[in-house]
Each structure stands twice: as structure tokens, then as C-alpha cells.
């Protein structure tokens, strides 16, 4: 365990003016409160708070945050109280410790509604003082570093929570180093076979090619020296999880993966960043589509850097990041750079963002909408990459990847979004469902009297736009929806031999977190809440009624009488997924998933697009989907995989081997499914198998209808 003198010394390295008395007092108090408590590893419990404090010293944080780390478990696990900590130390420390304690009590392992409420609590605590989440992230990092002492089921739970919640949150805050370490530690628990396989391949690659990192680093330094640019150059192999994720996303074997090395060039000023970029591109061939300038268009968390990928030594692709020293400090610390110290004073970094402004952007409109809307907004705003577009006047608008001109319009103002009739991208009129890309200029065309359409919900990608459209639709058509909802409720309740009384509807509304029965009826009428769900919520013991069988030959709504229908083989959409139709001469209407990349080929032919949706009811298991499964090369494994698929009441219509390696096989299985829920069940069941290293839905843009 780090003793108090070593801890004070770590703080002195960046803050010689620190309050030593406060630090020593917190150390002694925390050790005394945790006296006799042990970790599952057998170590004294106080080793954990000290390790958390040491992690925060690496981020050069202030005294109050370090003291909070030393005391963060005292209120939760000892006899200490908020009042006593206030008296012993100060109100700021007590408030921070209390905030971390409340975060610790939040459990993210729950149903959708409870999870949404827990996210609200998380962001509410962050909005009060962002330092509480910094302590919590450091706490989670140390727990993940020492996770081997936990029981296997607890390890898996903590690892999933880390991968789904805390690692993306660290990344959103700009602390990429922490995100990568958290992901890799969770990956070690969740998929140790895949991680070890990647590490073995790294060792083999190094044996075959030598130390590629040092060679390429030397090449870059030589080119910069020749150009007279003073800069530090660092290189490393990417983390196993980063490599694994890229293999999954790009559907590539390790041997075909290119940019597994990353390099950073740290310069003295911005001018040298662009000079260094020129040197790199003159010496090595740039890879098209892999250039991003976050210096001229910084991320909302303050991150600034130039990213480019080039074909380096021996044709290997390498990613190069170029930034100044101050930019690098923010890139390492993220939002936490606001509190960092240097030589005893608060470090003034022009690129550090104001935490209050950052958290306000993140939590904007989180108080609006229902649980589903809130969770949708959280995932979109926290976990997705961003694109940067321009208004005609040159102002920058940040949107999540996959956003459309409608998202752009709502990002400017709700009034503009509601009145949008069309859009131009780089001066060319495009459909509203077009996906915007980095650097494009978007012009929104509005008209008086225009109102949001129900189909817009399936077009937009941002939580803000979805919430605004739903709110406008509810307000405009509220009377009609209430009347329709009352009739739907009456008919549905009667099918179950029940009556849709005002009291029953009020009870259901209260259970769903809605203000009154009128709001519930409006949402039933607008198809946001199925009437069946209301009945099942009030009377869970009632037997479910037999669902209407959807004809397999015509499972969609929106076709003309003379139009035939087929599913696109490239994306293989299934009932429950959003779809859009494209007309083909001689082939009728081909249904694509809304996120299918092949739709980009038809952006210039809006007359061929058909608004489709799946029919409501029970679909037959005739919708073929290809899933790719990576399994251990061992006796009986393939048979067990096929048995699992069969147990899910799924027919295997085809199976073939994609790749055969000494330690694993990759197979493609065509399965016949009912809907998206059926697909999810099959994927989950396969993923739970011990000998299955990976399972994913396979989509191939090159498959033509």
C-alpha cells in the first residue's frame, strides 16, 4: 500500500502548494475508519481508496478530489457521517464524498425503466460537480485492475457494466486512455480466449517483422528532423479490444487487419502540426477517407488533434495523430483538465472545456420525454461518434454519425425542424433521409404551415429530434389520438373480458410514469404504447390472446396492389426493424433496413423510394438471416452450436465455413426467423456458449437483389 509520504510526494510533483495537513488528515481518518476491513483479495480495504487517490494524482487533480478519493467509501462502509466529514474537513469534501456515495448505490443491472432512472441519477450527480464521476471512474479502474479476486459471476457483471457504462462515459469525457484500459480489462474477463488469441498474434507478428513500432517511429523522427520540425514522436500497438472490435466491425481476420499501430506527434504549436502533416503525407501515401481535422473542428469535450492514416513501412497502414503539447494534455485528461494543476497553480489550458457547459450539452432535454426516449437520447449522445456539418453561414453543427438533414434542422432550432420541407447538401437538393457526412454544408428549406410527419421518427437519429417530433405530433393530433386511443383501449379490454374504466387507465398511467389517463390514451392512439401492453400491465395473470398471423407472402404495409415484395439480400431486414422500399424494374419493391449502406446508391433517385412498414402480428419463421459464429476448433462444438439454434425453434437453411484456423473456425449460418426479437434470442443464446468466441449478424453490401 502507498504510504502517506509517498502520496504527498506524488501530489507535490505537480502541486507543491497542496494542503499537506488536509491530505494527511484524510489519510489517517480513512485508515482509521476502514481499520479491520479486508478486500476479497485479503488485503486491508484501505489499500483501495489510496490506490484510487494515486490514480487521480496522475491526472494532477486538486486537493479536494484527492481527499474525496481517500474518503469515498467511508459513508457507505463505515460509521462516518456527512456531518462528521464536514466537521473534520470541510463542506466541499463532504459534498463530494456524499455524491460519490450516491453514485455507488446506483445499480445499472435492471429493466429499461429503472435503468433510465439510474442514468438520470448519474447525470444529476455529474451536473452538481463533475469531480464525483472522476473519483467514480478511478474507483472503477482500480476495481477492474484487481477484479480477479472477485467471484466469476461478479466479475462478469462488473465487466459488462464497465464495457456498457463506464468505458463509454470515460471516452465521452475525453479520457481516452482510461476508456481503452477499462475496455481491455473488461475484455479480459468477458472474452479471454479472443484477447489471448490477439496477443499471440501480436507476438507472432513481432517475431516475423521485428519491432515495427520502433522502426516506424524512427522513420517519422527522421522525416521531421529533415524538415526542421521539433516534435516528440510516440508509437504503440493498439489495445487487444480495439483490434478485436475493428476485426468485428470490418469483418476481417487479424492477418488482413492493417492499421494496428498508432503514432502520436507532439509539436510546439499549431503551425508545426500542419507542417508535420505535410511532411507525413509527402513521405507516405495517405489512405483516402481516413483524415480528420479536430484542430479546426474540435470535439465538444475539448479534444483537438489531426488524425490521418498512411501506408507506412512495408505497406503497413498506420494511424498518426498530430497535436500540440497543450492539446495533448487535454486529450489525456479530457474534461478533467479543467481541475489539473501545474507547479502549484491551476493549469490554464486554452483547450480545456468548461465542465458546466459540457455537462449542460450532454444532459440537454434529458428531463423531457418518457423512459424509452431518455435511454434513446443517452445512447445516441454518449456512445456514438460525431460528424461536423456547416450552416450556409459557416457555423458548425455537431451531430451523431448517421444523422440526417432533419437532425441538422432540429439541432439549429425546434421551430426550424418542425417547418422543414426539404434540404440541400453542398448546394444539391437531397431527400430528408440522406445521411450527412463530415464537412458537408447543409441548407434547410422551410415553409409556413408545415408540420412534422409521423414518418420522420424513422428518419431522424438524434434524441432531441425524436423528442421534438413526438411532442409536436402529440400536441397537434392530441384530440384525435385521445379519441382513437379510447376506442382502441375499449376494444382491447373487451377482448380480455375487461372494461377500460377511467380508474383502470389512471392506474396504468401511474405505473408507466405518465401524468394522467388522457396522456395514456393519447399515446395509445399514436401507437407509442400498444393497448395490449396496458392490459397485460394491469392483469399480468391473464392468458395471452393468440396473435394475428401475418401472411408470409405480403408481410409489409405500403405496397400497391400490383407491386411484388422481396427482402434485400444485402441487409436481410426482419420484422421489428425499420425498413424502406426501393423499386426495381422486374423485381418489384425490395425492402432494405433503414441503416443499410446500400441505400446511399439510391439517394439521387427519390422517386424509387417507397414508405414501408411491417404488418402488426405474428410473422412466420421464413425470414432468412446470416449470422457469423466464431467457435473453438474442438470436437463436438459445431454440433452444440446447431443444437442451440434448434432449441430456439429456428431452422438452419444453410451453413458453410468462412475461415479455418488451427485454434478456431468461423462459420456462416443461415437461419429462418420470425422477427428481430427472435434474432436477438438466437444471438444471445449462442453468445452464452462457452466455446463460442464471437457471434454477429453478417451483412454484405455486395449481395444484389
Q: pLDDT digit string (tens) for 152-162? A: 888 988 898 88
Three-state DSSP at 530 gives: coil
Residue 273: the pLDDT is: 95
Full residue range of the structural domain in which residue 569 is found: 553-705
Verify that 412 and 516 share a domain, yes or no. Answer: no
At which of 289, 321, 336 does a domain end?
336
Residue 257: the pLDDT is: 53
Report how far apart, in Å, the C-alpha atoms of 35 and of each of 32, 421, 424, 494 are.
5, 67, 67, 64
Return the top range by mean pLDDT from 314-318, 549-553, 663-667.
663-667
Please indicate whether residue 287 or residue 474 has the higher confidence score (pLDDT). 287
Q: Which of 351, 335, 273, 267 is CA-nearest to residue 308?
A: 273
For 48-62, 532-546, 632-646, which range has the lowest pLDDT when averaged over its residues? Answer: 532-546
**Mean residue pLDDT across the chain:** 82
* 235: Cβ contacts below 8 Å, ≥ 6 apart: 213, 214, 216, 217, 220, 261, 262, 263, 264
Q: How far is CA 255 from the centre of its chain?
A: 27
87 located within any domain: yes
Verify that 530 and 596 share a domain, yes or no. Answer: no
Verify that 153 and 222 share a domain, yes or no. Answer: no
Q: What is the pLDDT of residues 422-439, one digit of tens each?
A: 899 988 888 888 888 877
Please indicate whether residue 542 or residue 450 has the higher confidence score (pLDDT). 450
Residue 492: the pLDDT is: 80
Residue 113: the pLDDT is: 44
Verify that 201 and 291 share a domain, yes or no. Answer: yes
Q: How far is CA 368 from the centre of its chain?
A: 21
Residues in the chain: 705
347 located within any domain: no
590 located within any domain: yes
126 located within any domain: yes
Residue 654: the pLDDT is: 92
41 located within any domain: yes
Mean pLDDT of 271-289: 90
Three-state DSSP at 388 gives: strand
Verify that 166 and 212 share a domain, yes or no. Answer: no
- Residue 354, Cβ neighbours under 10 Å: how many? 11
Alpha-carbon distance of 565 to 583, in angstroms, equals 9
Domain of 679: which CATH number?
3.30.70.260
Question: Above 70 in pLDDT, residue 381?
Answer: no
* 603: Cβ contacts below 8 Å, ≥ 6 apart: 430, 431, 434
Q: What is the pLDDT of residues 86-112, one digit of tens each?
A: 998 999 999 888 888 877 766 655 444
Verify that 40 and 140 share a domain, yes or no. Answer: yes
Domain of 288: which CATH number?
3.30.460.10
Question: Above 60 in pLDDT, residue 518?
Answer: yes
Question: Above 80 in pLDDT, residue 338?
Answer: no
Verify that 652 and 678 share a domain, yes or no. Answer: yes
The DSSP element (H or E) to which 658 belongs, if any, is: strand 651-660
C-alpha cell at 263: 503514432
- Which residue of the set 76, 232, 601, 659 is catalytic? 76
23 located within any domain: yes
For 49-58, 367-376, 422-431, 565-574, which range has the lowest pLDDT when averaged over its residues? Answer: 367-376
Query: Confidence class of residue 220 from pLDDT cuts 50, 70 and 90?
Result: very high
**The pairing of beta strand 579-584 with beta strand 565-567:** unpaired
H-state helical runs in 368-477: 371-383, 405-412, 414-418, 463-476
Verify that 18 and 128 share a domain, yes or no. Answer: yes
Burial of 18 (0-12, 13-18, 19+ CB in 10 A): middle
Query: Confidence class of residue 362 from pLDDT cuts 50, 70 and 90?
Result: low
| 446 and 432 Cβ atoms separated by less than 8 Å | no
Q: What is the pLDDT of residues 639-662, one digit of tens each?
A: 888 888 888 888 999 999 988 877
Mean pLDDT of 138-144: 93
On whether the pTM is more than 0.75, the answer is no
Percent of the chain residues topping a pLDDT of 70: 85
Query: Confidence class of residue 331 from pLDDT cuts 50, 70 and 90?
Result: confident
Report how far apart, in Å, the C-alpha atoms of 613 and of each of 1, 402, 580, 620, 660 are.
61, 20, 7, 16, 39
696 located within any domain: yes
| 423 and 414 Cβ atoms separated by less than 8 Å | no
At which of 147, 166, 189 does a domain end?
189
Residue 106: the pLDDT is: 64
Total domain count, the chain: 5
Residue 271: the pLDDT is: 94
Alpha-carbon distance of 74 to 52, in angstroms, equals 14
Q: What is the 3-state secondary structure (H, E, C) of 324-387?
A: EHHHHHHHHHHHHHHHCEECCEECCCCCCCCHHHHHHHHHCCCCCCCHHHHHHHHHHHHHCCEE
Domain of 402: which CATH number?
3.10.20.30
Active site residue 77: yes
At which of 513, 538, 563 does a domain end?
538
Alpha-carbon distance of 262 to 190, in angstroms, equals 25
Active site residue 76: yes
342 located within any domain: no
Query: Confidence class of residue 380 from pLDDT cuts 50, 70 and 90?
Result: very low
Return the top range by mean pLDDT from 310-314, 359-363, 403-407.
403-407
**The pairing of beta strand 565-567 with beta strand 588-593:** parallel
Verify that 253 and 273 share a domain, yes or no. Answer: yes
Three-state DSSP at 632 gives: strand
Amino acid at each position: 500500500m502507498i504510504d502517506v509520504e509517498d502520496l504527498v510526494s506524488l501530489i507535490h510533483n505537480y502541486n507543491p502548494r497542496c494542503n499537506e495537513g488536509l491530505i494527511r488528515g484524510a489519510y489517517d481518518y480513512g485508515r482509521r475508519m476502514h481499520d479491520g476491513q479486508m478486500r476479497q483479495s485479503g488485503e486491508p480495504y484501505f489499500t483501495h481508496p489510496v490506490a484510487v487517490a494515486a490514480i487521480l494524482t496522475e491526472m494532477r487533480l486538486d486537493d479536494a478530489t484527492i481527499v474525496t478519493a481517500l474518503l469515498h467509501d467511508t459513508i457507505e462502509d463505515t460509521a462516518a457521517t456527512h456531518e462528521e466529514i464536514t466537521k473534520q474537513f470541510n463542506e466541499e469534501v463532504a459534498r463530494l464524498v456524499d455524491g460519490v456515495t450516491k453514485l455507488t448505490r446506483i445499480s445499472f443491472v435492471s429493466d429499461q425503466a429503472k435503468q433510465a432512472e439510474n442514468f438520470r441519477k448519474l447525470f444529476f450527480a455529474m451536473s452538481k460537480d463533475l469531480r464525483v464521476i472522476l473519483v467514480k471512474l478511478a474507483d472503477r479502474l482500480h476495481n477492474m485492475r484487481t477484479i480477479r479476486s472477485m467471484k466469476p459471476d461478479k466479475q462478469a457483471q462488473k465487466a459488462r457494466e464497465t464495457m456498457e457504462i463506464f468505458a463509454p462515459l470515460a471516452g465521452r469525457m475525453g479520457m481516452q486512455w482510461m476508456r481503452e484500459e477499462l475496455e481491455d480489462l473488461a475484455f479480459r474477463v468477458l472474452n479471454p480466449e479472443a484477447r489471448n488469441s490477439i496477443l499471440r498474434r501480436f507476438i507472432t507478428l513481432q517475431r516475423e517483422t521485428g519491432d515495427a513500432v520502433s522502426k516506424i517511429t524512427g522513420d517519422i523522427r527522421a522525416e521531421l528532423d529533415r524538415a526542421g520540425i521539433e516534435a516528440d514522436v510516440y508509437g504503440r500497438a493498439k489495445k487487444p479490444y480495439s483490434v478485436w472490435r475493428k476485426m468485428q466491425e470490418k469483418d476481417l481476420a487479424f492477418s488482413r487487419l492493417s492499421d494496428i499501430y498508432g503514432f502520436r506527434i507532439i509539436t510546439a504549436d499549431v503551425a508545426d502540426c500542419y507542417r508535420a502533416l505535410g511532411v507525413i503525407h509527402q513521405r507516405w501515401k495517405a489512405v483516402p477517407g481516413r483524415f480528420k481535422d479536430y484542430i479546426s473542428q474540435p470535439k465538444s469535450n475539448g479534444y483537438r488533434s489531426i488524425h490521418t492514416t498512411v501506408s507506412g513501412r512495408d505497406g503497413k497502414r498506420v494511424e498518426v495523430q498530430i497535436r500540440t503539447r497543450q492539446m495533448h494534455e487535454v486529450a489525456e485528461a479530457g474534461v478533467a483538465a479543467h481541475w489539473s494543476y501545474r507547479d502549484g497553480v491551476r493549469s490554464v489550458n486554452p483547450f480545456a472545456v468548461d465542465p458546466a457547459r459540457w455537462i449542460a450539452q450532454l444532459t440537454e432535454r434529458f428531463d423531457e420525454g418518457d423512459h424509452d426516449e431518455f435511454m434513446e437520447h443517452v445512447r445516441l449522445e454518449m456512445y456514438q461518434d460525431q460528424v461536423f456539418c456547416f450552416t450556409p453561414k459557416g457555423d458548425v453543427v455537431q451531430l451523431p454519425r448517421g444523422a440526417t438533414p432533419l437532425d441538422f434542422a432540429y439541432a439549429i432550432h425546434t421551430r426550424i425542424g418542425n417547418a422543414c420541407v426539404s434540404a440541400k447538401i453542398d448546394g444539391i437538393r437531397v431527400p430528408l433521409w440522406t445521411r450527412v457526412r463530415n464537412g458537408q454544408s447543409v441548407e434547410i428549406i422551410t415553409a409556413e404551415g408545415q408540420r412534422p410527419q409521423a414518418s420522420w421518427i424513422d428518419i431522424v437519429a438524434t434524441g432531441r429530434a425524436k423528442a421534438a417530433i413526438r411532442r409536436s405530433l402529440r400536441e397537434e393530433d392530441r384530440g384525435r389520438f385521445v379519441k382513437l386511443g379510447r376506442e382502441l383501449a375499449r376494444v382491447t379490454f373487451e377482448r380480455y373480458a375487461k372494461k377500460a374504466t377511467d380508474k383502470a387507465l389512471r392506474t396504468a398511467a401511474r405505473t408507466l410514469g405518465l401524468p394522467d389517463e388522457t396522456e395514456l390514451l393519447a399515446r395509445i392512439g399514436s401507437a407509442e404504447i400498444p393497448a395490449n401492453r396496458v392490459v397485460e400491465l394491469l392483469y399480468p395473470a391473464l392468458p395471452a390472446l393468440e396473435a394475428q398471423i401475418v401472411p408470409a407472402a405480403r408481410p409489409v404495409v405500403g405496397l400497391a396492389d400490383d407491386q411484388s415484395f422481396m427482402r434485400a439480400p444485402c441487409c436481410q431486414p426482419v420484422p421489428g426493424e425499420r425498413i424502406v422500399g426501393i423499386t426495381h424494374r422486374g423485381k418489384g419493391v425490395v425492402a432494405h433496413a433503414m441503416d443499410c449502406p446500400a441505400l446511399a446508391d439510391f439517394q439521387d433517385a427519390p422517386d424509387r423510394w417507397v414508405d414501408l412498414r411491417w404488418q402488426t402480428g405474428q410473422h412466420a419463421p421464413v425470414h432468412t438471416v446470416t449470422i457469423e459464429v466464431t467457435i473453438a476448433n474442438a470436437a463436438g462444438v459445431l454440433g452444440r452450436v446447431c443444437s442451440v439454434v434448434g432449441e430456439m425453434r429456428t431452422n438452419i437453411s444453410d451453413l458453410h465455413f468462412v475461415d479455418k484456423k488451427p485454434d478456431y473456425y468461423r462459420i456462416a449460418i443461415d437461419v429462418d426467423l420470425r422477427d428481430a426479437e427472435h434474432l436477438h434470442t438466437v444471438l444471445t443464446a449462442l453468445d452464452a456458449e462457452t466455446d463460442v468466441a464471437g457471434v454477429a449478424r453478417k451483412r454484405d453490401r455486395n449481395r444484389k437483389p
